[in-house]
Each structure stands twice: as C-alpha cells, then as structure tokens.
C-alpha cells in the first residue's frame, strides 16, 4: 500500500467518525434547537484553530452487548484551539453519540485534555451536553466523574475553568461545572439538577417541570449556579469570547492589555448619583462613567442584583468591579450577595486582577430567614475574601456606608490599599434616623413634641456625622475626592499599586467559612 493510499484510508476513517452519532441523531439534536458538539466548537473558536485529540478513541464497554456498538469518539470531542488568538483547551460532549453519556474512555479523553490545559497553563472550556453516566459501564463511569472532579479542583486558581451547559447536565455530572469558575447557560437548552422531577415526585410528592427545577433562568436568578445567561447558543459563545478577553491565561500572568480608551461622554457621574442616600440610581452607570470605553462586562446579572460584579478596563488593563446596587434592596448585603461578591473577589485575587469597590449600602439585610440561612457565616466570606486578597484593592465610598456593611466593603480596616470617599459619603454606625432614635431617646420621648424633637435630633446627627470627614480625620479615608475626578484618581492609584507585593503567612490554605 502506498503512502497515498494509506492517507486516503485515514481520510475515510476520519470522515466516518466526524459523522458523530449519524444523521438521525443529528436531526434529533437540531430539532431540540441545539447545535452539534462539532458545530459548537467551530463557532466558539477562531477559524481553523481547532486541533482535535483522540478522534479515534474507542469505548471500553464490554458488557450488555456494548462491545458490538460503535460509539464515534466515545461521545466527546476534545482538543486545543484559540479565542481571539489566546490558546484554550476544550472538550464538548456529543449528545448524538449514546446521549453524550460518560463512560471510561469518554472520561479519559476529558481528563487528558484537562491535564494538558494544566500543563500548558491555558484556560479550559467544557461544553456539557450529556444524559449522565453510561449505566452499562457501571462503576467505571463513576470513576470517570471522580477523576474529572479531582482535576477541576487541582486546576482551580491555576487556570480559568469555564463550563458551558448546552443540554442536560444532571446528577453527579453537575459537580464538574460547580467546581469551575464560570458557568454559562442558554435559555430552554440548559438543564441542571442533582435529582430530576421524576425522582422528586416519587420521593417527596412535589411536582415540578424540568425548566422550573433546573432551567437556565432558575440557575441565573435563584440558585446562582450560573454566571451568564444567553438566549441562544451563538450569543452564549459571544459571551465566552468576551470573558476570555478579560481574564489571563493562568495565575502567573496578567490579562491581555488593550489600548487605553476614555469613557463615553454620555456617562456623567454628577448626573447619575442623587445626593440623598434614600434615592436609587443604577450603580453600573457609575462604573461606565469610570471604565475604558464605558464598557462593563457584568457577571451574574440576575442573581442577587443588590450587588454588582464584573469586569471593566482601566487604562487598557482588566479590573474587577464590586459595587452595591441601591436599585435593589437599597444595596444591602445578604446571604446571596455575600456569596456572589466573595467568590468573585477570590477569582480576581487568584488571577492578578485588581479590585475596585464602590460602596453605597445601609448594612446587612435583617430578617429571620436571613439569620436562619446563616447570614453570619455567609457575610463572613466577604470579609475573608477581601482580607486575604493581595491584588491592588481600591475603595470608593459613594454615599452611605453604615455599620458592618461598611467594614465588609473593602474598608481601610481590612487593609485596603487606598480608600477614597466622595463628599456625599456618610460613614457611620447607622443611618441618621436610627442613630438619633438611640442616642437621643430620652430627649425625644420626654419632649413636648417628640416628632419635632426627633427631626431636630436627626438633623443634628446628620450635620455632625453624615459626612466623610469624621472618618477622614481618623485616617480611615485616605482622600476625599471630587466625584467627577474619580477616574483620574483611580488610574493614578492603579499605577502606583502596580508594584504591590504582599508576603502571605506560610500555610497550606486558609479556612474560609463556607
């Protein structure tokens, strides 16, 4: 046989495997409104950048007549590629092959590409679309899951890990995405749960649809398991590309620097923020007034909207923004918003992304449900995450900063690098109304006209304490700045902090309250 013939044979063999689960299965996939695994990889990666690994892998099933079955690529496509020129490792489960079920070889292909990503120190992207464990392969498929989880954990904080849920992802399979840094979901396509509607019905008698139990909307609004929600797979891939542009390849690098650009003139801080701390405004517009090109890439937009997190650029360099959102619940910290912020802060810290915190909150959310849900333990995560972070940490106090909430939001006391305050800042134990009621209780209750006296005392307290100068006098605020000049101050601070180097105590790892 000549080399030419052998090459022809290769092409033939390859063609066969590239068909995946065959025409009928592909049609079924399309009928569900889903792309095939191969189409997904091609739409996500730069043109002609995909190098596939293990195309000719054969599955290991020997029981239940599985040895007679052909499963092309064993239901998963793996390889390397590029996004905006940045290298990534990728795997995509192929639902057209045995429902994308996970057998031993399937898992081996995934763990191989994970090891590769960790060795190359490049981001890992996993596209999940699988019916779950391949039951015929029994305990081997469980072993496969476990080996994936182990690598997810080892890679955590070393390379960014991205999970894309484009189909079912149920039972044990959900724990790989759960261990990764960013989870992307698509409306009506993504489904994630530990136990499905049928089991829930038989065990607990509760009836619920798959969509209501673990659809994309639920995970983006209620559970917080998902970080990005999209209406279509294509839009989801655009989001992934944007994210990749903001984050570094690994923990020893910085995110790619773009050309610095000024914010748009349409975002003016003076027009955005009302002085009265009781009035709402969209804090994301403050971020847009500060960031390059007025671009803010928000994470977990729908989940715990009382805190805003996401990326922007300052002078071309990626920064992470954490901001209280007065539009929702006056911007309080609660169980969910604490979890959301703490996780983001830790990712930024792990991947050398400086943090800018914008403060405007009345404190932690009161309520029996909050206390019972462990707001103490969850709220502590914010304190922990900020305190341990060694990346540049800058705070801007916009308006109200009361009580424990003030301390938690990267205060000077948690060793922030620089704390700015606007003249509208009110740094105090609580709002003037609450404080006056406590401090002047006697005067108010014994007064002839208690309401009038209360008003007088509230004003007295407000004049004296509802400003940034009391804290500035103690050195808790490093500089009181003109709101319109915030960007200039931040750029200077980021530049100065470029050389920040903080030694950490020797330890295996801290014990964050989880």
Partner 1 sequence: MDLNDKDFEVFSYEGTDYKTLLTRKFLQRKKYEPEDPSKIIAQIPGTIVKIMVKEGQVVNPSKCLFILEAMKMKNRVHPPVTGTIKKILIAEGQIVTKNQLLVELELPETKTKSKSKDLVSFEEPKKRKKVFGRKRDR
Q: Site residues (CB under 8 A) for partner 1?
A: 203-206, 221-222, 277-282, 284, 304-306, 326-332, 336, 362-363, 365-369, 372, 402, 430-434, 437
Sequence-separated (6 or more) residues with CB below 8 Å from residue 490: 290, 314, 356, 394, 396, 420
Query: Helix 486-496 vs helix 283-290: angle between axes, to the nearest 10 degrees?
Result: 60
Query: Measured from the CB of residue 398, what is the shortest distance to partner 1 in angstroms?
Result: 15
CA distances (Å), origin 60, targets 107, 128, 323, 344: 11, 21, 51, 40
Q: By C-alpha distance, which of 454, 424, 217, 472 is closest to 326?
A: 424
Q: Which is nearer to partner 1, 61 or 363 (CB)?
A: 363
Query: Measured from the CB of residue 216, what is the shortest distance to partner 1 in angstroms?
Result: 16
Q: Which is nearer to partner 1, 25 or 286 (CB)?
A: 286
Query: Measured from the CB of residue 182, what is the shortest distance to partner 1 in angstroms?
Result: 22
Query: Measured from the CB of residue 204, what is the shortest distance to partner 1 in angstroms?
Result: 5
Q: Which is nearer to partner 1, 200 or 480 (CB)?
A: 200
Given a contact cutoff of 8 angstroms between Cβ atoms, the answer to whether 40 and 1 are in contact is no
Q: Which is nearer to partner 1, 99 or 263 (CB)?
A: 263
Grouping H, G, I as helix, E, B as strand and the rest as coil, residue 248 is coil
Query: Measured from the CB of residue 231, what is the shortest distance to partner 1 in angstroms?
Result: 18
Distance in angstroms (rounded) separating the CA atoms of residues 16 and 9: 11
Q: Which is nearer to partner 1, 129 or 334 (CB)?
A: 334
Query: Measured from the CB of residue 249, what is the shortest distance to partner 1 in angstroms?
Result: 33
- Helix (H) or strand (E) holding 140, with range, is helix 139-155
Q: Which is nearer to partner 1, 21 or 363 (CB)?
A: 363
Query: Measured from the CB of residue 128, what is the shortest distance to partner 1 in angstroms?
Result: 26
Q: Which is nearer to partner 1, 381 or 400 (CB)?
A: 400
Distance in angstroms (rounded) separating the CA atoms of residues 20 and 29: 11
Q: Residue holding tokens 């091609």? A: 42
Q: What angle do CA 194, 198, 166 make, to 5 degrees?
A: 50
């Amino acid at each position: 046989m000549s080399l030419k013939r052998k090459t022809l044979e290769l092409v033939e063999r390859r063609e066969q495997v590239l068909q995946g689960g065959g025409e009928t299965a592909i049609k079924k996939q399309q009928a569900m409104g889903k792309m095939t695994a191969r189409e997904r990889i091609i739409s996500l990666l730069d043109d002609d950048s995909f190098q596939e690994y293990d195309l000719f892998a054969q599955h290991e099933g020997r029981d239940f007549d599985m040895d007679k079955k052909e499963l092309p690529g064993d239901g998963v496509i793996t390889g390397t590629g590029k996004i905006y020129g940045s290298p990534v490792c990728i795997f995509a489960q192929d639902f057209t092959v045995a429902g994308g079920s996970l057998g031993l070889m399937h898992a081996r292909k995934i763990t191989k590409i994970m090891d590769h990503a960790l060795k190359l120190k490049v981001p890992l992207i996993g596209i999940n679309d699988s019916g779950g464990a391949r039951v015929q392969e029994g305990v081997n498929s469980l072993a496969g899951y476990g080996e994936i989880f182990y690598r997810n954990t080892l890679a955590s904080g070393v390379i960014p890990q991205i999970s894309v849920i484009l189909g079912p992802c149920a039972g044990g399979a959900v724990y790989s995405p759960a261990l990764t840094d960013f989870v992307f979901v698509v409306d009506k396509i993504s489904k994630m749960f530990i136990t499905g509607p049928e089991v829930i019905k038989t065990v607990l008698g509760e009836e619920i649809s798959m969509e209501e139990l673990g659809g994309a909307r639920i995970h983006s609004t209620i559970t917080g398991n998902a970080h990005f929600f999209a209406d279509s797979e294509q839009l989801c891939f655009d989001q992934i590309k944007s994210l990749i542009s903001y984050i570094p390849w690994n923990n020893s690098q910085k995110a790619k620097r773009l050309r610095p650009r000024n914010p748009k003139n349409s975002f003016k801080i003076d027009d955005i923020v009302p002085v009265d701390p009781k009035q709402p405004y969209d804090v994301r517009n403050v971020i847009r007034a500060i960031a390059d090109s007025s671009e803010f890439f928000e994470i977990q937009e729908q989940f715990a909207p009382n805190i805003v997190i996401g990326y922007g650029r300052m002078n071309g360099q990626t920064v992470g923004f954490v901001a209280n959102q007065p539009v929702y619940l006056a911007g309080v910290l609660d169980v969910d918003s604490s979890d959301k912020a703490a996780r983001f802060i830790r990712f930024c810290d792990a991947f050398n992304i400086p943090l800018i915190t914008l403060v405007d909150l009345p404190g932690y959310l009161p309520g029996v449900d909050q206390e019972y849900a462990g707001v103490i333990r969850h709220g502590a995560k914010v304190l922990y995450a900020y305190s341990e972070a060694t990346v540049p940490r800058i705070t801007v106090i916009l308006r109200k900063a009361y009580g424990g909430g003030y301390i938690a939001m990267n205060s000077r006391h948690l060793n922030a690098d620089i704390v700015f305050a606007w003249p509208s800042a009110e740094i105090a134990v609580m709002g003037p109304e609450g404080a006056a009621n406590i401090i002047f209780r006697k005067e108010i209750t014994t007064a002839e006209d208690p309401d009038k006296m209360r008003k007088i005392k509230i004003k007295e307290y407000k004049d004296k304490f509802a400003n940034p100068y009391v804290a500035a006098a103690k050195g808790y605020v490093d500089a009181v700045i003109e709101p319109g000049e915030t960007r200039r101050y931040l750029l200077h601070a980021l530049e100065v902090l470029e050389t920040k180097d903080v030694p950490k105590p020797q330890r295996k790892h801290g014990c964050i309250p989880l």
